[in-house]
Structure 1
């Protein structure tokens, strides 16, 4: 089966998620916006691919992956806001 646009989008999403995991593993001090933003981007791109080439277990996994990434982004934003309030 030749690679179509949806598969290529999925590969980019996979690269994002693998890159984020490598960043988390190899970095001494991670930026939560980079980490969770890259994971969210990867999950979104894989979701687009999975909507074309449906694989329900993987689609559910990407939903959870995106929810965790969004939670991480919200947590980082709240922590940033709290630090700004303490140190004007």
Structure 2
């Protein structure tokens, strides 16, 4: 089950990255940021459970930056 969770989280992050590189998604778009937030949050939670501190740091920061960027985007859109 753990491998399925890791693969799912990884696919979300990678899908956003690939689509951004292909010009399908803008790196500041809500879809891109949501994919990164969801994927990195899944991976961070898995890293926490498995006590993989370096991986937790990477994915935790990735999730935090994605969340902050998404909130900033939403605030700007409301103005």
Alignment RMSD: 1.6
- CA–CA distance in 1 between the matches of 2:19 and 2:69? 15
| Residue aligning to 1:48 | 45
| Aligned length in residues | 78
> Which structure would you say has the larger Rg?
1
Contact map agreement 2:33 2:70 (CA 8 A) in 1: yes
Unaligned runs of 5+ in 2: none
Q: Structure 1 regions of 5+ residues with no counterpart?
A: 83-88
C-alpha offsets along residues 35-74 of structure 1, whole Å, 9 cap, x if unaligned? 1100010011112321232211010111100111011101
1:26 aligns with 2:10: no
TM-superposed deviation, 1:24: 1.4
Which segment is superposed worse, 65-74 or 43-52?
Answer: 43-52
Residue in 2 that maps onto 1:86: none
TM-score of the superposition, structure 1-length normalised? 0.78
Corresponding position of 1:7: 3
Shift of 1:34: 0.3
